[in-house]
Amino acid sequence: MPATTIDQLTLADEPAAWEALGFALSEGCCQIGTVRLRLVGRQAGAGIVGWSLRGALSDELDGLSTSISSRPVPANAPVHPNGVVAIDHVVAISPVLGRTVVALRAAGLDLRRVRERPTPAGAPRQAFFRLGREILELVQEPEEVVRREGGPDRPAGFWGLALLVEDLDRTVELLAPRVSEVRPAVQPGRRIATVRRSAGLAVPLALMSADERAGRHAQRRTADRSGERAGATEVPRP
């Protein structure tokens, strides 16, 4: 069975806001690595509103709006002017992690592991799915969030993105003051910065280094690794 991979992410965001952050766009689309981001404007909803997958067995993913794509995997996009080279992981949230995991596995998504320790943001559990070079990080909502948002009988939803950059310090310097200071990531050997609300994006966005313990050539190796590289969601709330 062919591996399930991400063809496109559809974002309810304005192309101009992404261009202002140093992303190269053409006709409202932006390719990061081999994944196309289609920016359709705020009128289309909030944040990530859908995706298309190659090789999935079903488009029923517990509420994650999904279509099936037959487009071939393109060549890697050039490095963006801001230094972004790839999508590290896509973050989704679920009020019932086990239910969503069952639906995703039934659709052919490759579950790599379930993390049973709380994240820094308080999520009690996470599941990691490998989708080619990218990872889907599925996060269990904390109990208080489940209660506040109306209980467990709600679908899963997309949350945000973490992007891999060539030189995190350079990117942060280029985008200041629209990004946070660099800090250690949960994953050993990696660092992270988050895009601030003042940047005007509708999608929570984090910028990450490769594993700096692995030397100068870690960038592409990190992009090719499996779900074990994703340790805990650090994509900020908008």
Structural domains of the chain sorted by starting position, each given as residue range(s) with its CATH number in brackets: 5-229 (3.10.180.10)
**Residue 96: predicted pLDDT:** 97
Q: How far apart are CA 135 and CA 125, in angstroms?
A: 16
What H or E segment, with its residue span, contains residue 183? strand 183-184
**Residue 224: predicted pLDDT:** 43
- Amino acid sitting at position 98: G
**Residue 53: predicted pLDDT:** 98
pLDDT (tens digit, 0 to 9) for every residue of the chain, 238 residues total? 689 999 999 999 999 999 999 999 999 999 999 999 999 999 999 999 999 999 999 999 999 999 999 999 999 999 999 999 999 999 999 999 999 999 999 999 999 999 998 877 778 999 999 999 999 999 999 999 999 999 999 999 999 999 999 999 999 999 999 999 999 998 889 999 999 999 999 999 999 999 877 654 444 444 444 444 455 556 654 3
**Residue 232: predicted pLDDT:** 53
Q: How far apart are CA 155 and CA 149, in angstroms?
A: 11
**Residue 188: predicted pLDDT:** 86
CB neighbourhood size of 226 (10 A): 13
pTM score of the predicted model: 0.89
Alpha carbon 238 to chain centroid, angstroms: 14
**Rounded to the nearest 10 degrees, how much is the dihedral formed by the CA atoms of 45, 17, 169, 218?**
60
Nearest CA-CA partner of 162 in 201, 193, 197, 184: 193
**Residue 212: predicted pLDDT:** 76
Q: State in Å, rounded, how far the first CA of the chain is from the last one.
A: 38
* Sequence-ordered strand ranges (E) for 33-176: 35-39, 47-54, 66-69, 84-94, 110-115, 126-131, 134-140, 157-165
For the chain, state the CA radius of gyration: 17
**Residue 215: predicted pLDDT:** 54
